[in-house]
Amino acid sequence: MSQLRLRARAAAFAPEARRMVARRSASGAHALAEGVLDAISANLDALRDRTTLASLQKATRLLSRGRRIYVLGSRSSYPIAYHFFYVASFGGAPVVLVDGPGGIGIDALRGAGASDVMFAVSVAPYTRATVEAVAHGATRRVGVVALTDSPLSPLAARARAVLTVPTATPSFFHSMAAAFALAETLAALIVAERGQQAVDATRRADQELRSLYAYLDANRGARKRARVAKGKP
């Protein structure tokens, strides 16, 4: 498929929804659910091939060398970009989430340069803001790692490392499960690459989260239930 056709692919979800509803009517909800889960499983299995694993290593090396790692993704790709940012930040990676709060767009890239890198996520139909941000970063010699669905995608054209994922599904909406899995794997590799720095960073994060009571204390709840069971307040 040519890059021109990929760019021209419209966000036509209604026809796919019509076909999905027809399949559900013909085969039932159980068959549809099995089909979606089978597709997700196949998409995840496809990530184990040697090409993908080699691309992961290349992406890890590139991102680990960056002074800053700009992270961006919009619409269905945003949760993937955010999760990558969140996990990598725990390990002390110098990640910057480019999410454009308040309509500031790509202002976060103003200081980006050749010593910085970018992790960008988008699959067809490609989000204009992400494609333009990648183009902007490339003009500033930012090293781009693209997580996308085709080596012919507009993100791949400007990337130094490309991670491609399958998105096929009998659902009306493209599947993001493989993209999520690959981003999570990449975040783990980048944190592991940092060695003792990552261990120290996660220790500091643990301490801060405990001081903020960010999570429920499961042991405390168990102790309280034990006291109640014994008739104690």
Long-range contacts, stretch 132-135, CB < 8 angstroms, 24+ apart: 132/106, 133/72, 133/98, 133/106, 133/109, 134/158, 134/159
Residues with Cβ within 8 Å of 37's Cβ and at least 6 positions away in sequence, in order, are: none
Instruction: State whether the Cα torsion 152-148-72-15 is positive or negative.
Output: positive
Residue 104 CB neighbour total at 10 angstroms: 10
Helix (H) or strand (E) holding 69: strand 69-73
CATH of 3-194, one of 3.40.50.10490, 3.40.50.300, 3.60.70.12, 3.20.20.140: 3.40.50.10490
The more confidently predicted of residues 109 and 225 is 109
Query: Mean pLDDT, to the nearest integer, of 201-210?
Result: 90
Which of 8-12, 132-136, 167-171 shows the lowest per-residue confidence on average (mean pLDDT)?
8-12
pLDDT for 107 equals: 81
What is each CA distance from 104 to 13, 110, 210, in whole angstroms? 29, 11, 33
- Map out the domains of the chain as residue ranges: 3-194, 195-233
Confidence of residue 184 (pLDDT cuts 50, 70, 90): very high
Q: Which amino acid is at 82?
A: Y
Indicate if the pLDDT at residue 104 is higher than 80: no
Residue 1's pLDDT band, with cuts at 50, 70 and 90, is very low
pLDDT digits (tens, 9 = 90+) for 146-155: 999 999 999 9
pLDDT higher than threshold 90 for residue 99: no
Helix (H) or strand (E) holding 81: helix 78-90
pLDDT of residue 144 exceeding 50: yes
- What percentage of residues in the chain have a pLDDT greater than 70? 86
Work out the average pLDDT over 104-129. 91
Residue of 2, 214, 174, 176 lying closest to 90 (CA atoms)? 214
